[in-house]
Structure formats: C-alpha cells, structure tokens
Amino acid sequence: MLYSLAADVLLVVHFLFIGFVVLGGLLLLKWRRLIFLHLPAATWGALIEFRGWRCPLTPWEIQFRRAAGEAGYDTGFLEHYLMPLIYPANLNYDMQIVLGSFVIIINLLIYGWLGLRGRQDKGVKKAR
C-alpha cells in the first residue's frame, strides 16, 4: 500500500511538473522570481522531448508500482485519468519533437506577452 501511494504521489508530481513546464510562465504575472525555476524547468521539458530522454520520475514510479505488486497502470483512479496524459500510448520520436516544439512555442508566446506587458507598464509609469 505504501509503495502504491508513493507511485500515485509521484504521478501527481510528474503531472504538476509537466503543467509547470508548459504553462508555468503565466505564474510570472504574480511572482516574477519564478523565472529562475521556470526557465530551467521549461528547458528540461523541451530537452526531454527533443533528445528522446526518459524523465527520471518515470523509472521511480514504475519501481514503486512493481514493489506494490501492481502489473500496470490501470489499477486506480489516478492512473486511469492522468496516465494517458503523461504516457500517451502512441508516443514516438516525431510526436516528442512536436511536444518539445509545443513547450517552446507556448513559453515564447507567454514570455513575449509578459515582455510587452512590462514595457506597457513602464510607459504608463513614465507618463504619470
């Protein structure tokens, strides 16, 4: 039971990290210093996809599932709903390139928008 819980927690952490990689730049609207966490995370996420690497969280999760006596990922709520998002069945190298490109494009758009917004805010302050 403890290993199964550890695997579920790791799966949720994995999912949240992916969300942070893709959309974490939006958090910079409120907390600018997160840039020092988000840029490395987004870079890591894109590199994982472009290089075809395996995220280190994945083997840990599999190890926990095996230690819990689970054969696959279809045993619980978390696996049923989150697993297809993190581990798509038809994932191949071409799809990984698309996902990595998606991470870069989304984050370039967010950072570009934040940059324009910052310039506009400075212009308003100077006009006062």
Specify the pTM: 0.73
Give the whole-angstrom CA distance, residue 4 versus residue 22.
Answer: 27
CA distance 127 to 96: 47
At 73-121, the pLDDT tens digits run 544 445 555 667 777 777 788 888 888 899 999 999 999 998 888 777 7
Average pLDDT over residues 31-40: 93
Q: Is the pLDDT of residue 14 over 90?
A: no
Other beta carbons within 10 Å of 59: 10
For 24-92, where are the alpha helices, taking DSSP H only? Answer: 35-51, 57-67, 77-86
C-alpha 118: how far from chain center: 25
Q: Give the closest residue to 48 by CA, choosing from 24, 17, 78.
A: 17
Contacts (Cβ under 8 Å, ≥6 apart) of 103: 21, 22, 42, 45, 46, 49
Tell me, what's the pLDDT at 80? 54
Q: Which residue has the higher pLDDT, 126 or 33?
A: 33
Q: What is the pLDDT of residue 26?
A: 92
* Distance between CA atoms of residues 41 and 34, nearest Å: 10
Q: How far is Cα 121 from Cα 44, in angstroms, rounded to an integer?
A: 31
Q: What is the mean pLDDT of the chain?
A: 83
